């Protein structure tokens, strides 16, 4: 390339992946990313928190999607003058890492880990996660994401872990951490409890499962003398027969009406409202022997179905439970306090301690000898058989099985190993979230959410019902809970440590590694034991991995041991982004710890995007192979193509997205190739490099420059509110105007080497590449460097508002000219009239013909029409009809869609000045971004409509039928309104 010419480009379609690799290589050699940070030294900082991914496997489309957003926003903010550090992080602890190592080593049981040694197992976990970090770096680099890997943080680092134990100590000192005995979701495969929020992260945690459901009668032995219940059977229904050996009570609602009925030679008690449900077993019209309010049944004694715990104090009586309903079952609830949250609360209130005959692996122990060693799910079948035959352990107390059925229901599964969970009483450490739950709700109001409905919807409602957080895990690879207890209950003592200094002070050794088993080796005599025989030993539990990641804002900089001033100036963060499930994961734990420790939100703005699905609409699965291979897409289409496909979709507004190869290729066709071809066209026909100029008087030059000024404003507005799909749509529309209108209508000027045209296109491409740089960082780098010969488009500033001339009237007029030409061309195509065939006349009916009058020659030339007639007599040539697109409107309007349909049919619609339709009585909220209805409003009836409400008539089409027009909306808007109602009079002559 000479100094006075554009680069010579190869003919034919560009090899975009190859060009991208050249850019990536250039960035590596030039250290462009570091330069982009350094040039903003001293500038205001924009604080971005990069949520750490689990380093237990390779990135998938969900990671790539989030990663693109994490790249676009910092690039944009950097161009706007901010300094944006982008420190990468790794979530290295917990079950994700442990299960990967178990898979590698063929481990299926915790006992195998104990046998090989905790040290060896944890060494394998460390090696595994560090191996994946290298592979992740290659993927992240290929997607053109700029991050600081050199100063990354890892949750396994000693400094990070010290900040985490500091956080725990702070909670303990504030009375917000405690040890309790609770019923929790429990994974018998991994032998550890889970927290409730982990059951709500992903839709597939609850999977459809078939379980045996039984209705069993427990014989009353202690009825009140005058109620006639002695010898009757209390009917209970359960979908967990395996919990029946642990039954200690039953619950009724004091306000429900219960009946005693005769069925054969037995009497049964159940809720009156449930009689019809048991007509097959009890008869269509059973004899009612007595009617009781639930309160009258309280204290009634019965024989349990199994006799394992007959002498258990206070057990086997009817208790009151506010959770009892008549929606299903019998209205009487079987309670096994060790395996039900509500059961435990009610039983504890009357002094019934739980029995726990199920071990950590989910198997019955010796206390239930008949089922000893059986897994609880496997034991269901034998328990049902014993109940049915009243044999074995069921023979003693004579329970009556009146129904056995298969019950299909959503059932929770472990989010990591995917096995069905059980609920089990365990000792665990908790954060006392309920103490500051209301404050979390208040602080949430200071956070800006996209989509906005997440604030008071999915996240806000979760906060309102937040429970105490179980943070201990009975595992190995994680941050240790820094609690030491006396090993002699006669001399109780608890010590909690929050720093290496505190540990060194009491144990005389400064730990170089806080992981197990090394931290477990720190012991000392119990200072409260005058005999000197008891020892302070650490409890074996490690912290929930979500406690690690929720500590990221301060732990990444080793706060409070270092960087106190830095942290105070960088907290809360300005921006975070992850998928919507993190409202129960990282977003939630960040908010819990921020509220508890600092009484502040952890972040100011949060984007919660939807879920990426395979091409079959199901969750992506390696076994199903229902998604394109990431590497193949990079190699075939390039990273910018994938970035555009993901970023231009509705997924960033909370919807889900099906990944298809065609969808990715459409991005190449719609934007990447048009941009490249425009640059190639300029390089081919310009005799020398163009000059920055905005003073051309040619109407097309003036139009495209003014249109570019609009693009600058629209992109700025969209990016400021994190509406990346809206920004993509603005860029796509401008690219369409640039390539299919300006360049095509100006070709003859370029062939003639017209300086105004060349300089204008040079200027337009220079500004466009800057505006598009965050969205398409690779192709814009190539084009911009070819145009300017400067270092990088990513080292430039965002175009200023006054950089380009504005002309709103010209843009409006020329856009309507383009619409006229598009509609008329569709008429030609519908009648198979080729463009080369001259037509005598085109009548354009619009509200303001004067707007188009200066352009009648241009319209005629574009359409090959000899005469263009403008008129405002719209009613003479046709009528305009609206219909509601129910398929699109339904999900948006919900139950109001029928009212909107009726209103439109009745003509009860008002077209507003901003181009929206108000149909029906509802008062619409105002859209915050033109052309985009953020999915954050309560259902609007007002929807974007066609620009200008003008239409164009071709009166010489014989016997024409109504022509179905296009949907009225931009691609990302999915408007609720379409326009099928164009009607044309008949005429002759064409």
Closest CA to 185 of 367, 350, 339, 357: 339
Catalytic residue check, 52:
yes
Catalytic residue check, 546:
yes
CA triple 701-860-734, angle to 5 deg: 35
Q: 3-class SS at 12?
A: coil
Q: 3-class SS at 889?
A: helix
Radius of gyration of the chain (CA): 35
Catalytic residue check, 829:
no
Note the helical H segments in 80-154: 95-105, 110-116, 118-142
Q: What string of H, E and C letters represents the secondary structure of 891-948?
A: HHHHHHHHHHHHHHHCCCEEECCCCEEEECCCCCCCCCECCECCCCCCCCCCEECCHH
Q: What is the Cα–Cα distance from 826 to 814, expressed in whole angstroms?
A: 18
Catalytic residue check, 337:
no
Give, for 454, the enclosing helix (H) or strand (E).
helix 453-456
Residue-by-residue DSSP string for 419-449: PBPEEEEEEEEEE-GGGSHHHHHHHHTTSEE
Q: What is the Cα–Cα distance from 124 to 47, expressed in whole angstroms?
A: 35
Contact 342, 402 (CB under 8 A): no
Give, for 178, the enclosing helix (H) or strand (E).
strand 177-187
| Active-site annotation holder among 619, 650, 841, 939 | 619
Contact 971, 944 (CB under 8 A): no
Q: Is 83 annotated as a binding residue?
A: no
Catalytic residue check, 866:
no
Closest CA to 741 of 725, 764, 723: 764
Q: Which two tokens stand for residue 320?
A: 């009151």
Contact 609, 582 (CB under 8 A): no
971-986: b (≥16 Cβ within 10 Å) or e = ebbbbbbbbebbebee
Q: What is the Cα–Cα distance from 365 to 385, expressed in whole angstroms?
A: 20
Contact 48, 85 (CB under 8 A): yes
| Active-site annotation holder among 50, 91, 529, 640 | 91
Q: What is the Cα–Cα distance from 969 to 958, expressed in whole angstroms?
A: 30
| Active-site annotation holder among 143, 582, 733, 816 | 582
Burial of 296 (0-12, 13-18, 19+ CB in 10 A): middle
490-529: b (≥16 Cβ within 10 Å) or e = eeeeebbbbbbebbeeebeeebeebbbebbeebeeebeeb
Q: What is the Cα–Cα distance from 330 to 252, expressed in whole angstroms?
A: 10
Q: What is the dihedral of CA 404, 406, 408, 411, to 10 degrees?
A: 70
| Active-site annotation holder among 14, 27, 50, 52 | 52
Contact 129, 525 (CB under 8 A): no
Q: What is the Cα–Cα distance from 774 to 750, expressed in whole angstroms?
A: 30
Residue-by-residue DSSP string for 743-784: IHHTHHHHHTT-HHHHHHHHHHHHHHHHHHTTTSHHHHHHHH
Q: CA 678 from chain center: how many Å?
A: 37
Q: How many CB atoms lie within 10 A of CB 360?
A: 14
| Active-site annotation holder among 226, 313, 530, 622 | 622
CA triple 474-477-480, angle to 5 deg: 70
Closest CA to 473 of 516, 413, 524, 411: 516
Burial of 917 (0-12, 13-18, 19+ CB in 10 A): buried
For 696, which DSSP code?
Answer: -
| Active-site annotation holder among 27, 90, 586, 644 | 586
- Which residues sit in the known binding site? 622
- Which residues sit in the known binding site for ATP? 622
- Residues serving a catalytic function are 52, 91, 546, 582, 586, 619, 622
């Amino acid at each position: 390339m000479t100094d006075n010419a554009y680069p010579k480009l190869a003919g034919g379609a560009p090899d975009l992946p190859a060009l991208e690799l050249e850019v990536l290589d250039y960035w590596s050699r030039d250290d462009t990313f570091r330069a982009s940070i350094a040039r903003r030294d001293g500038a205001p900082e924009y604080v971005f928190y990069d949520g750490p991914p689990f380093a237990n496997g390779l990135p998938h489309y969900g990671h790539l999607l989030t990663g693109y957003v994490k790249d676009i926003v910092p690039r944009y903010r950097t161009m706007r003058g901010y300094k944006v550090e982008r420190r990468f992080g790794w979530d290295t602890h917990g079950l994700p890492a442990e299960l990967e190592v178990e898979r590698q080593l063929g481990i299926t049981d915790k006992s195998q880990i104990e046998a090989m040694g905790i040290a060896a197992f944890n060494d394998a976990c460390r090696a595994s996660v560090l191996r994946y970090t290298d592979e992740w770096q290659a993927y992240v680099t290929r997607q053109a994401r700029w991050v600081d890997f050199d100063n990354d943080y890892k949750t396994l680092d000693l400094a990070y872990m010290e900040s985490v134990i500091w956080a725990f100590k702070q909670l303990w000192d504030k009375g917000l951490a405690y040890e309790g005995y609770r019923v929790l979701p429990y994974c018998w495969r991994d032998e550890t409890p889970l927290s409730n929020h982990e059951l709500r992260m992903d839709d597939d945690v609850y999977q459809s499962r078939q379980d045996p459901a039984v209705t069993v009668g427990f014989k009353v032995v202690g009825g009140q003398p005058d109620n006639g219940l002695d010898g009757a059977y209390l009917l209970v229904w359960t979908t967990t027969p395996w919990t029946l050996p642990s039954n200690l009570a039953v619950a009724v609602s004091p306000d429900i009406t219960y009946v005693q009925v005769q069925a054969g030679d037995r009497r049964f008690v159940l809720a009156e409202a449930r009689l019809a449900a048991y007509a097959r077993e009890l008869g269509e019209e059973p004899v009612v022997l007595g009617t009781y309010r639930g309160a009258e049944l309280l204290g009634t004694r019965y024989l349990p179905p199994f006799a394992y715990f007959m002498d258990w104090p206070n057990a086997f009586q009817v208790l009151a439970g506010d959770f009892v309903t008549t929606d299903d079952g019998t209205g009487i609830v079987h309670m096994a306090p060790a395996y039900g949250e509500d059961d435990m609360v009610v039983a504890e209130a009357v002094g019934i301690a739980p029995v726990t005959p199920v071990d950590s692996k989910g198997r019955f122990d010796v206390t239930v000898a008949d089922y000893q060693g059986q897994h609880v799910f496997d034991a269901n079948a034998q328990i049902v058989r014993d109940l049915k035959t009243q044999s074995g352990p069921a023979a003693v107390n004579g329970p009556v099985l009146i129904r056995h059925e298969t019950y299909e229901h959503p059932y929770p599964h472990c989010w990591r190993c995917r096995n069905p969970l059980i609920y089990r009483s365990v000792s665990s450490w908790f954060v006392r979230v309920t103490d500051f739950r209301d404050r979390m709700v208040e602080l949430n109001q200071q956070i800006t959410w996209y989509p906005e409905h997440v604030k008071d919807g999915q996240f806000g409602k979760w906060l309102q019902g937040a429970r105490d957080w179980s943070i201990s895990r009975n595992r190995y690879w994680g941050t240790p809970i820094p609690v030491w207890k006396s090993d002699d209950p006669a001399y109780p003592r608890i010590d909690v440590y929050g720093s290496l200094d505190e540990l060194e002070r009491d144990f005389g050794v400064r730990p170089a590694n806080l992981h197990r088993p090394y931290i477990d080796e720190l012991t000392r005599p119990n200072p409260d034991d005058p005999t000197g025989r008891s020892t302070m030993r650490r409890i074996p539990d490690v912290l929930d991995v979500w406690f690690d990641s929720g500590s990221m804002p301060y732990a990444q900089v080793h706060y409070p041991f270092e960087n106190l001033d830095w942290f105070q100036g960088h907290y809360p963060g300005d921006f975070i982004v992850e998928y919507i499930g993190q409202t129960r994961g990282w977003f939630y734990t960040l908010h819990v710890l921020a509220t508890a420790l600092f009484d502040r939100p952890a972040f100011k703005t949060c984007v919660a995007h939807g879920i990426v699905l395979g091409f079959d609409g199901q969750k992506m699965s390696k076994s199903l192979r229902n998604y394109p291979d990431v590497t193949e897409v990079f190699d075939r289409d390039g990273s910018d193509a994938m970035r555009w496909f993901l970023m231009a979709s509705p997924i960033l507004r909370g919807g889900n997205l099906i990944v298809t190869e065609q969808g990715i290729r459409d991005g190449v066709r719609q934007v990447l190739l048009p941009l490249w071809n425009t640059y190639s066209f300029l390089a081919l026909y310009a005799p020398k490099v163009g000059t920055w100029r905005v003073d051309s008087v040619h109407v097309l030059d003036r139009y495209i420059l003014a249109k570019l000024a609009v693009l600058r404003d629209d992109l700025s507005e969209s990016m400021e509110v994190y509406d990346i799909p809206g920004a993509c749509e603005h860029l796509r529309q401008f690219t369409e105007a640039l390539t299919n209108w300006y360049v095509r209508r100006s070709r003859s000027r370029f062939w003639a080497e017209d300086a105004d045209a060349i300089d204008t296109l040079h200027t337009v491409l220079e500004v466009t590449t800057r505006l598009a740089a965050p969205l398409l960082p690779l192709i814009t780098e190539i084009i911009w460097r070819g145009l300017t010969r400067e270092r990088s488009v990513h080292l430039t500033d965002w175009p200023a508002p006054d950089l380009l001339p504005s002309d709103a009237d010209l843009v409006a007029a020329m856009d309507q000219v383009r619409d006229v030409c598009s509609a008329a061309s569709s008429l030609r195509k519908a009648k198979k009239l080729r463009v080369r065939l001259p037509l005598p006349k085109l009548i354009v009916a619009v509200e303001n013909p004067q707007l188009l009058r200066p352009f009648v020659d241009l319209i005629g030339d574009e359409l090959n029409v000899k005469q263009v007639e403008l008129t405002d007599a719209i009613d003479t040539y046709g009528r305009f009809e609206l219909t509601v697109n129910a398929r699109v409107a339904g999900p948006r309007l919900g139950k109001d869609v029928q009212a909107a349909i009726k209103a439109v049919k009745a003509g009860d619609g008002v077209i507003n000045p901003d181009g929206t339709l108000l149909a029906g009585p509802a008062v619409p909220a105002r859209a915050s971004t033109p052309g985009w209805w953020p999915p954050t409003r309560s259902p609007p009836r007002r929807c974007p409509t066609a620009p200008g409400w003008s239409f164009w008539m071709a009166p010489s089409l014989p016997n024409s039928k109504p022509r179905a027009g296009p949907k009225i909306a931009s691609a990302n808007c999915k408007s609720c309104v379409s326009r099928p109602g164009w009607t044309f009079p008949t005429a002759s002559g064409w």
